[in-house]
Amino acid sequence: MGIDYAEITALYERYGKMVLRRCRQLLRDEAMAEDAAQNVFVLFITHSERLHAEYPSSLLNRIATNHCLNLIRDAQRGDPAASDWLREVATSEDPAPRFEARSVLKRLFGLHEESTRTMAVLHLLDGMTLEEVAEETGMSVSGVRKRLRGLRRSLIELEGK
């Protein structure tokens, strides 16, 4: 899917605000979200030959979600490239409920494939239907449903401990 300057400019003008909103939602830091949104378009250009952009908004949203989740994961692992703020939030032992929720999510998502985390974010946070998530991730609706059920069972088990 070769892409030229005019096409990327049109995509940025049309979907840039949507991508930035998604990055803000996940990162909760304006400067990092702006950087991440720019990087989403760089990733789009870099990998344009391998991408199938029948629905560019869905593709860009998925790239933004994965990129931001990767930034958060890298911060949790202590990656020196992660910002100090994100590393502090991701690894904080603060007992506040917000951080307790992050701790539970970290343990929960550690039990499942990364693609399951993406499915959960798309369905539970973004409000996409199971059909939309299935289309976005290239899985069947029953496969998505099964993964989300497994995630729910794991959460119930974690809460019981």
DSSP of 87-108: HHHHH----SHHHHHHHHHHHH
61 confidence band (pLDDT: 50, 70, 90): confident
pLDDT of residue 10: 86
- Tell me: the pLDDT tens digits for 18-54? 999 999 988 888 888 999 999 898 888 877 666 556 6
Q: Count Cβ neighbours within 10 Å for each residue of 114-144 and write b for 16 or more, e otherwise.
A: eebbbbbbbbeeeebebebbbbbbebeeeeb
Go through the domains of the chain in sequence order and give each one's CATH number. Answer: 1-91 (1.10.1740.10), 93-161 (1.10.10.10)
Query: 78 or 85, which is more confident?
Result: 78
pLDDT of residue 21: 92
- Tell me: the pLDDT tens digits for 117-160? 888 888 877 778 889 889 888 899 999 999 999 988 888 787 77
Whole-prediction pTM: 0.53
How far is residue 73's CA from residue 105's CA, in Å, rounded to a whole number? 12
CA dihedral sign, ordered 126, 97, 115, 129:
negative
